[in-house]
Amino acid sequence: MAATGFEVRRSAGALGAAILGIDLSQSLDEATAQALRAAWLEHQVLFFRDQSLDSDQYLRLARCFGEPVEYPFIRGLDGYPMITPVVKLEHERHNFGGVWHADTTYLDEPPKASMLLAREVPPFGGDTLFASQTAAWEALSPGLQQTLSGLVGVSSSAKADVSRTREDRIRDAGRADARREYCAEHPAVRTHPETGRRALYVNIAHTARFAGWTEEESAPLLAWLFEHQVRPEFTCRFSWRPGSIALWDNRCVQHNPVNDYHGYRRVMHRITLRGDRPR
């Protein structure tokens, strides 16, 4: 038990920690907020259970870690544009963002973090997988690390698999001002601006090719990386209950919501936090 009054319980070897003994509906003093931020940077994704938060309390918690920003494709909740509903309904087959990815790397300044709060969960399934991209980077050979350090990935919001996972929500809650496609170029390996650790920064949902390479030339190396990035030893898995929260570092973590609960409803509220240009 830390001096701040909460316990950090590690979830897996590569990343993840559960935070126990804390009530996030209450305002956090600065010492507690600093301790949570330090635990988050160390473990890359934090998990909380049994938190009863309204939208104002949820936003107040998010601001302890950064500045909330709007999601480019889907409207937020009425009166809370920074809170994006992540919903799969009983009759739907595709889940929102249902592929391994880091959030919105097709933006010039992708978010530094994402936070998800479970409102309604199915009776089984609907877990989320997380993968450490620092662990994935550190497991590469020196020769491949040297090659990747000189490459730039081109990200697009229009890759087919991830576009399909947005269709239901765009149909009923799409933003009128959303562009048809967002594109951005970022280093294939980025340096974390707070920890200084390096991480792979390509992902199967958004990275279409390397800058200066064709898609055909890029495909073999990207395919190998996409498989390498999510090796089991780099991952952890979180099972949701109502009131569960996950906060992950989008600069060095990928996630994948498992789509194994057809016929049931799942409702989550997501907040993303403003990031910077990857370097």
Active site (annotated) includes residue 255: yes
CA 147 vs CA 120, 171, 189, 219: distances in Å = 45, 42, 10, 15
Nearest CA-CA partner of 25 in 59, 76, 65: 59
Which residue is catalytic, options 75, 103, 249, 269? 103
Whether 101 is a known active-site residue: answer: yes
Distances (CA, A) of 156 to 28, 160, 161, 167, 209: 38, 10, 12, 16, 9
Q: What tokens appear for 181 in the block?
A: 């496609």
d(CA 209, CA 216): 8
Amino acid at 29: D
- Which residue is catalytic, options 43, 192, 255, 266? 255
Q: Catalytic: 168?
A: no
270 contacts 84 by C-beta, under 8 angstroms? yes
Contact in structure between 145 and 195 (CB atoms under 8 Å):
no
- The answer to whether 103 is a known catalytic residue is yes
Q: Which of 190, 192, 206, 270 is catalytic?
A: 270
Does residue 97 contact residue 86 with C-beta atoms inside 8 Å? yes
Active-site annotation holder among 101, 198, 251, 266: 101
Which residues pair with residue 191 across a beta bridge? 198
In this structure, is the dihedral angle defined by the CA atoms of residues 250, 70, 79 and 121, taken in order, positive or negative? negative
Cα separation values, 117 from 62, 180, 186, 204, 272, Å: 11, 28, 29, 25, 12
Catalytic residue ranges: 101, 103, 255, 270
